Structure 1
Amino acid sequence: MPTIVWPSNKPKDATRKDPSLRSKIGPFLTKLSAGTTSAGLHVEPIRESVDRRVRTARVTDFYRAVLFELDGDGQLVYVIHGIWPHDEAIEIARSVTVGINPYNGIAQVFDVRDATGQDAHAVDKARRDARRRLDAARREAEEIAREAARLEAGNAEARRRVEAGSAISLPPRPGAESRAPAPRAEAARPGVVVTTRDDRPVWPDGLTVESLRDELGIDVRLAAAALAATCESELLDLAATASPSWQGEALLALATGTSIEGVREDFELLHPQEVKAEPTDAEVISGLRRRASRADFTWLETDEDLRRAIEGLTFAQWQLFLHPQQRHLVERHSNGPMRISGGAGTGKTVVTVHRTAALARRMTEMEQGSARSHTARRGRGGQRTGTARILLTTYTRNLADDLSRQLAQLAPGIAFAEKVDEPGVLVSGLDRVARAILQRAGESIAPVAERVLGRRRTRILAYAKNDLWGDVLALTGEGLPANLQSADFLASEYELVVLPQHVTTLQQYLRVRRPGRGVALDRRKRAEVWAAMERYRDRSAELDVTSFAEQLALAAAWLDAEAKQDRARPFDHVLVDEAQDLTPAHLLLLRALVEPGPDDLFLAEDSHQRIYGKKITLSHYGINIRGRSRRLTRNYRTTRQNLRAAFEILDAGSYEDMEGRAEEHRYISPRSGPEPVLLHAGSRAEELDLAAQLLRGWLSEDSEQREAGAETIAVLVRDRYRRDAVVTGLAERGIDVRPVDREAMGRGRPVVMTMHRAKGLEFRKVLLFDVSEASIPRALRDQQYSDADYADALLRERSLLYVAATRARDQLAISWSGQASPLLEGLARKG
């Protein structure tokens, strides 16, 4: 069948003015995919056109599509430009051409009537017109927002009718056609509205209109307007209205820290000297396949592609959107471990899930060509054939379940594995993987346990029911210096220093390096600490128990021992989401699960969201990235107002990524919405009153606007005790909410959950409750043995609040009674 290339972004054609036309697109695509001889299609060339390849084709008696017919080495490729009324379509077809950008090799459709020069005169004119372009972009962005609101309202109404089993068409609400997504019913919302900052874009040094044109092929009019933007919101409006859209995305990447060369790599741009002056059809098709062009065009190459397009018509309904930078990370071949980082909502999980599916698909294609010798699995001694063995993992079970659902939705035919070493994709937490490996090891774990724990043990699968470190401290604590008499210090020293380096004797501990621990230990102090370590190990052996970290370390060591005997590692590829929360023992197991080599490890992390483990560096545990890391900077979930409020929480902290480098938080969001609201109460009862008033207003707004269900509203708190108290307090004030722990959220009521439980989720409206000075947990007091550990624990608290704030998609409110938490210092001053 001919290949169809369809506009990914909604074209400015008749489908914007006549929604009924969308129902005609399916039959049109079906006919076109069958070939030009299909009855009634009438694919015809246009006289006096600037491009000999342009055609029009009949969609209805009134509408015709404008498209280009390209020869892909004997395979027809139709590039759809848009759909217009018959006479308008003919006029447009005469003036459009599909070609190659001479600066970068990217294919795009040009209208000669709108074409402008790129020379010095054009640059000067573009600079003079920059402000006018920015103002026009703002107006267009506002219209896009209004259109999005109309579409969302229509979608919500359709969902309600389906759920209610009703086909009744309800009349539009007064004013709904012109309503943009903005704050509604302000009078119903208590508290102080905080105005967040709107900073000037930060560009790479020396960036000019000319360099954007010459290095990346960005239109001089767009480049001049971007450099003239005085604040982030102006740049975001401009990028949202850029055509082709990839150029706006490239500008946003530059404004958030990506280099010129990084943009060229992400968007798959050529250098000017690599672009031919008169490209052939095949070269235009090649240009259409580059990542930048694929931001604007979707390829319909298979029956499944066509079916989804016909059924959905809106590609976002069936294809998780991939920005060109994300697509590059999905498709990239890596010679070793690879790391991506990015703030909340930047699409790290989307990239990880897509890359998992892509690796599975790639391995399947290799196996289908089994006659070729390179289809054999890499690995030491364990050469094997069959479906790839891929592990997709993360820190918590809830997140792992979410990953499994997303992968099944993205790739319905993917083969899932049920256990370790089984062909297919295993989606599992690492703790579960470790236990499976230890169960397989059986009695052979004894010599490994002796090397790792200093005790020859075989009973290692039970967990301690009590706090063994507390017991050890009670028995041996008096021998420790006062500042080291801390269960947290002993546990951290064991898991960060002793266990990962397989320290089993005092002599080893006296010599071992302790990077980043923040507490200097001389020989005497080390001996005293080691006595506590020995007591802990003796007590664990007496009880036949191990910790999670010990099981991870034992599983890793056993796999390494097996590999030395030329036995295969369990997986071909391992991908990790939320890697910032992993411990050293987790990293040891990751490294042991897959043989070092191409595309072995892929880690997605955000050091700003580290809410569990201590700060660690990958290279200390055998995972060497060596430049194979990239950063995502565009937030797809949270409005820019909520995102800026979250950054206010982070600003006072100093963060490092998993390679030990300073972590930036320069992220942007194209979505705009209401400013955050601060609720300051004099007492807990008053805070509950304000929370009830806020939720009542939100629920009323949603009822009037016929928005999504009440379960898209969340109250987030620091711990389960506060959760239960809030549920009771709101019920006393007439607000029925649902407490959520491990179970699913259910429907019909707002939810109340801990900030930890909310990680990985999103809600339309979020209230952070009891962000007071008293809410800083008592656990911080256990860090007093070290300024460094106290500072790191405080960073984790900032991260937790940042994670909670970025769960809000549209609206964010923060409440406290008494004194505000010091973590809110920036926001509270404004309130």
Structure 2
Amino acid sequence: MARIGVYRDFFRDFPKLEKSVQDQVIGVFSKFEEATYAGLHLEPVNNARDKRMHTIRITLFWRGVVLAPDKGDVYVLLNVLPHDDAYAWAKRRRVTVNAATGVVELRDLVTLEEQAASVVPAAETASRLFVHVNDADMARLGIDAQVLAFARTFNSDDQLDKAQAFFPKQQHDVLVGLASGMTPDEVWTSLPAPSAEVAAFDPEDVSAAVERSSEQVLLVSGPDELMEAFAKPFAFWRIYLHPSQRDAASGSFSGPARVTGGPGTGKTVVALHRAKHLSSQASDEKSILVTTFVRTLPSTMEDALRQLTDDDVLMSRIEVRHIDGVAYRIVTGGTGGLAVLRAEDEKPRWTRVIRALGLPSRFDEAFLSHEWRQVILTQGINSLEKYQQASRPGRGRSLGHLQKTQLWGAIAAFTDALRAEGMWTYETICLEATRLLEEGERKPYRHVIVDEAQDLSPWHWRLLRAATVHGRDDLFLAGDTHQRIYDYRVSLKKLGIDIAGRSTRLKINYRTTAEILRWSLGLLHGERVDDMNGALDTLTGYRSDVHGAEPRLTGFTTQQNELEELVKTVRRWLDQGVAPGQVGVAARSNILADQAVAKLKAAGIPTAPLAKKHTDSEVGVGTMHRMKGMEFRCIAVIGVGEHMVPPTSAITPAEEDLIAHQQDLQRERCLLFVAATRAREELTISWHGSPSTLLPV
């Protein structure tokens, strides 16, 4: 009986089809196993470069391109296009088997030949892009003769970038790795390792190659699984691992390990696969913790884990919980009952302390709060003596002996008052949880997996280090310091978390178009971003293989004009077939976000704040902070004006503290970078008045 697979890249394009066409695609292929090929109008493509290319009728206007096997019963849906476009697309392409890994690969054969014929070969000099790699190594890495001949003409990264549109994807990945400075052996380790049965594979047996190609093709077991895949196409596309992600997800490490990479490189996907992998080897319930600082992520991550595995036994071994929730449960034993200080109630408490002690004006509420968190809590200081001896990196204003004594008294008064009233903050709960764990004998977790690791504070890291047994595969970190949007800067090694020699960097962006990515990277150009381990982080080699429209930047005279244009932009996206739930609007402030919600609703566009958005039938609007961990097909970032991004209140004046000023500016750049890179296909940036000084020139 016929079996159906779906080419993974098609899941990117499926949501762009009109809803009626999507329904027809699902209807046609859900009946594929039951029908004859003639009944499904499966027709060969005349004059195709690959005789296995066929089309199938979706509607009178739309056709699906299907790879039909020479032998066997596995058929693969490659694309769905208007009638004439489908035939033209199918005629140009050929499916082959990668000589190194035995997986299927799809190439635009006609374009490859046309481009190769028109290019002027690079001179036989060191300027050639791949002069340092011999032909034998190229062949070992799966670069075939046709691709190699063309690649040998390249003398710039730009030529290689353009070739991604028609090169077989895995071969292009190999060439990008070599061009970025990786050795052939390093590139080899990033490829899927051929199994024993692949060692002698038939290069003409495409059906067998499809069976081996889980990264390229989703083989469904029946109509229910097919409909599930099409119901959540982007989610389904994202749960499959690229070879560069596989080793990090399933490797065995002698101690703490880390995966890094820019937005959209699949760090969260790796973390989830890591949890699944470890759960298959575990035996105790809730022995694996998956945690994050982003409060909205745990429920999303748990849903994604259930997409990866429907095995209740494996899921029972995994606990997905926000980091503050972990501390709260440890302190309360799961019974609850702690009174937690609200954020808006903290400042008045500092005010009372300042007045009671008669502190000078330069020691205001913000200064005391930051000193407590960024120096005392960050360094784990528990006495005046230790505070007097402590350095204060990142706190540019120097303090003398008497000033530190004053500040220690103020902070002690603040925390003593909390304790006397039975009031807690999330920080003090975390400290108490860590104390209980360090004094106890039993550790609650065997493995801890941290997503968005760059946002955790030092006291969070001490909690997690105390919560798990030291040993193999104990801690696994996924994060990117270029997306740090809070004030915490840590040294993992100083916190007892040594990741030396156990770090993997991901470079391929699977979410954002190359055009959006290029513009977003300009926000961080020249910034020196630490790597949480005593060195600088880098996004060198970070790229996207998907192309689209350039971001649109527009300034307006008034806020009213800007919001009116927002309505037009969102309506245009909806008219193009983008579902409301796949449109996001980001603002720096809650006030502007609320105004955008009101304006869109008044225009008849279904809209909701992200905190209250529960369906895909509403446009989601929120602050840039609230966008963390989310993604949309289209994003409008509004209010990116001179005095709004960054807001004056968020930046320490340079004359007061130059180091803090610079760190605040970098944090704001990272925040705008995060908001922009939530967009998959289209990005608009707008402002009223003068543009933000953070925007690339």
Asked if these proteins are the same fold (TM beyond 0.5), I'd say yes
Name the structure 1 match of 2:649: 779
Contact 2:157/2:179, CA 8 A, preserved across alignment: no
Q: 1:225 aligns with which of 137, 142, 150?
A: 150
Name the structure 2 match of 1:106: 101
Q: How does 1:274-285 map to 2 (within 5 A)?
A: none
Name the structure 2 match of 1:471: 352
Q: 1:626 aligns with which of 485, 497, 500?
A: 500
Residue 470 of structure 1 and its aligned partner are, at CA, apart by 3.8
Contact 2:635/2:679, CA 8 A, preserved across alignment: yes
Residue 241 of structure 1 and its aligned partner are, at CA, apart by 3.5
Provide the rounded CA distance (Å) in 1 between the counterparts of 2:398 and 2:638.
39
SS at match of 1:503: coil
Residue 284 of structure 1 and its aligned partner are, at CA, apart by 13
Matched, 1:789 2:639: no
Q: How does 1:116-127 map to 2 (within 5 A)?
A: none
Contact 2:7/2:77, CA 8 A, preserved across alignment: no
Provide the rounded CA distance (Å) in 2 between the counterparts of 1:416 and 1:98.
37
Report the TM-score, using the length of structure 1 for normalisation.
Answer: 0.65
Q: 1:333 aligns with which of 252, 258, 265?
A: 252
Residue 475 of structure 1 and its aligned partner are, at CA, apart by 3.7
Name the structure 1 match of 2:559: 684
Name the structure 2 match of 1:536: 414
SS at match of 2:682: strand
Provide the rounded CA distance (Å) in 1 between the counterparts of 2:162 and 2:324.
45
Gaps of 5+ in 2: 11-24, 37-66, 79-93, 121-126
Q: 2:590 aligns with which of 720, 728, 742?
A: 720
Residue 436 of structure 1 and its aligned partner are, at CA, apart by 0.9
Provide the rounded CA distance (Å) in 2 between the counterparts of 1:726 and 1:306.
44
Residue 562 of structure 1 and its aligned partner are, at CA, apart by 0.6
Which residue type is aligned with residue 640 of structure 1? A
Provide the rounded CA distance (Å) in 2 between the counterparts of 1:255 and 1:758.
34
Q: 2:116 aligns with which of 114, 126, 132?
A: 132
Q: How does 1:694-709 map to 2 (within 5 A)?
A: 694-696=569-571, 698-699=572-573, 702-703=574-575, 705=576, 707-709=577-579
Q: How does 1:428-443 map to 2 (within 5 A)?
A: 428-440=321-333
Which residue type is aligned with residue 515 of structure 2? Q
Provide the rounded CA distance (Å) in 2 between the counterparts of 1:673 and 1:110.
23
Instruction: Note closer, same or farther for the CA distance 1:608–1:473 as it changes in structure 2 (3 Å cut).
Output: farther
Name the structure 1 match of 2:85: none
Which residue type is aligned with residue 662 of structure 1? L
Q: Summarize deviations over 1:725-776 as a string: whole Å, max 9, x none.
A: 23344556x3545240422254544332211112222222222111001102
Provide the rounded CA distance (Å) in 1 between the counterparts of 2:129 and 2:432.
47
Residue 98 of structure 1 and its aligned partner are, at CA, apart by 11
Residue 507 of structure 1 and its aligned partner are, at CA, apart by 1.5
SS at match of 1:815: strand
Q: How does 1:387-786 map to 2 (within 5 A)?
A: 387=285, 389-415=287-313, 424-440=317-333, 462-463=340-341, 465-467=345-347, 468-476=349-357, 478-479=359-360, 482=362, 485-563=363-441, 567=442, 569-666=443-540, 667-696=542-571, 698-699=572-573, 702-703=574-575, 705=576, 707-730=577-600, 734=603, 736=605, 738-775=607-644, 776-782=646-652, 784=654, 785-786=656-657
Instruction: Note closer, same or farther for the CA distance 1:788–1:571 as it changes in structure 2 (3 Å cut).
Output: same
Contact 1:400/1:428, CA 8 A, preserved across alignment: yes
Residue 623 of structure 1 and its aligned partner are, at CA, apart by 1.2
Which residue type is aligned with residue 803 of structure 1? V
Provide the rounded CA distance (Å) in 1 between the counterparts of 2:224 and 2:622.
37
Q: How does 1:28-107 map to 2 (within 5 A)?
A: 65-67=69-71, 101=99, 106-107=101-102
Residue 330 of structure 1 and its aligned partner are, at CA, apart by 1.4
Residue 355 of structure 1 and its aligned partner are, at CA, apart by 1.5
Provide the rounded CA distance (Å) in 2 between the counterparts of 1:99 and 1:344.
31
Which residue type is aligned with residue 807 of structure 1? R
Provide the rounded CA distance (Å) in 1 between the counterparts of 2:9 and 2:605.
41
Residue 438 of structure 1 and its aligned partner are, at CA, apart by 0.6
Q: 1:807 aligns with which of 669, 678, 688?
A: 678
Residue 388 of structure 1 and its aligned partner are, at CA, apart by 5.5
Structure 1 vs Structure 2: percent identity of aligned residues?
29
Instruction: Note closer, same or farther for the CA distance 1:636–1:97 as it changes in structure 2 (3 Å cut).
Output: closer
Provide the rounded CA distance (Å) in 1 between the counterparts of 2:117 and 2:398.
60
Instruction: Note closer, same or farther for the CA distance 1:81–1:774 as it changes in structure 2 (3 Å cut).
Output: closer
May I ask how many residue pairs the two structures share in their alignment?
618
SS at match of 2:544: coil
Residue 547 of structure 1 and its aligned partner are, at CA, apart by 1.9
Contact 2:97/2:209, CA 8 A, preserved across alignment: no
Gaps of 5+ in 1: 12-18, 30-62, 69-77, 84-95, 115-127, 137-201, 368-385, 418-422, 443-458, 827-831
Which residue type is aligned with residue 250 of structure 2? E
Provide the rounded CA distance (Å) in 2 between the counterparts of 1:652 and 1:80.
49
Provide the rounded CA distance (Å) in 2 between the counterparts of 1:100 and 1:762.
32
Provide the rounded CA distance (Å) in 2 between the counterparts of 1:441 and 1:587.
21
Residue 312 of structure 1 and its aligned partner are, at CA, apart by 7.5
Provide the rounded CA distance (Å) in 2 between the counterparts of 1:321 and 1:824.
35
Residue 460 of structure 1 and its aligned partner are, at CA, apart by 6.9
Matched, 1:819 2:694: no
Contact 1:267/1:292, CA 8 A, preserved across alignment: no
Instruction: Note closer, same or farther for the CA distance 1:5–1:108 as it changes in structure 2 (3 Å cut).
Output: farther
Instruction: Note closer, same or farther for the CA distance 1:256–1:100 as it changes in structure 2 (3 Å cut).
Output: closer
Provide the rounded CA distance (Å) in 2 between the counterparts of 1:571 and 1:679.
50
The CA RMSD over aligned residues, in Å, is 4.5
Provide the rounded CA distance (Å) in 2 between the counterparts of 1:486 and 1:735.
46
Residue 786 of structure 1 and its aligned partner are, at CA, apart by 2.1
Provide the rounded CA distance (Å) in 2 between the counterparts of 1:416 and 1:547.
34
Q: Summarize deviations over 1:57-88 as a string: whole Å, max 9, x none.
A: xxxxxx973348xxxxxxxxx999999xxxxx
Contact 1:267/1:291, CA 8 A, preserved across alignment: no
Provide the rounded CA distance (Å) in 2 between the counterparts of 1:388 and 1:544.
30
Which residue type is aligned with residue 350 of structure 1? V
Residue 21 of structure 1 and its aligned partner are, at CA, apart by 9.4
The higher radius of gyration belongs to: 1
Name the structure 1 match of 2:241: 322
Which residue type is aligned with residue 683 of structure 1? T
Which residue type is aligned with residue 409 of structure 2? A
Contact 1:570/1:593, CA 8 A, preserved across alignment: yes
Which residue type is aligned with residue 350 of structure 2? W
Provide the rounded CA distance (Å) in 1 between the counterparts of 2:499 and 2:145.
37
Provide the rounded CA distance (Å) in 2 between the counterparts of 1:597 and 1:530.
37
Instruction: Note closer, same or farther for the CA distance 1:110–1:570 as it changes in structure 2 (3 Å cut).
Output: closer
Which residue type is aligned with residue 589 of structure 1? L
Contact 2:586/2:675, CA 8 A, preserved across alignment: yes
Contact 1:216/1:269, CA 8 A, preserved across alignment: no
Instruction: Note closer, same or farther for the CA distance 1:531–1:412 as it changes in structure 2 (3 Å cut).
Output: same
Contact 1:269/1:292, CA 8 A, preserved across alignment: no
SS at match of 1:765: strand
Provide the rounded CA distance (Å) in 2 between the counterparts of 1:98 and 1:717.
47
Provide the rounded CA distance (Å) in 2 between the counterparts of 1:289 and 1:539.
68
Which residue type is aligned with residue 246 of structure 1? Q
Provide the rounded CA distance (Å) in 2 between the counterparts of 1:690 and 1:592.
52
Contact 1:388/1:572, CA 8 A, preserved across alignment: no
Contact 2:586/2:621, CA 8 A, preserved across alignment: yes
Matched, 1:263 2:187: yes
Instruction: Note closer, same or farther for the CA distance 1:281–1:687 as it changes in structure 2 (3 Å cut).
Output: closer
Q: Summarize deviations over 1:419-447 as a string: whole Å, max 9, x none.
A: xxxx52111101111111111399xxxxx
More displaced 10-residue stretch of structure 1: 707-716 or 205-214: 205-214
Residue 595 of structure 1 and its aligned partner are, at CA, apart by 0.6
Provide the rounded CA distance (Å) in 1 between the counterparts of 2:9 and 2:364.
60
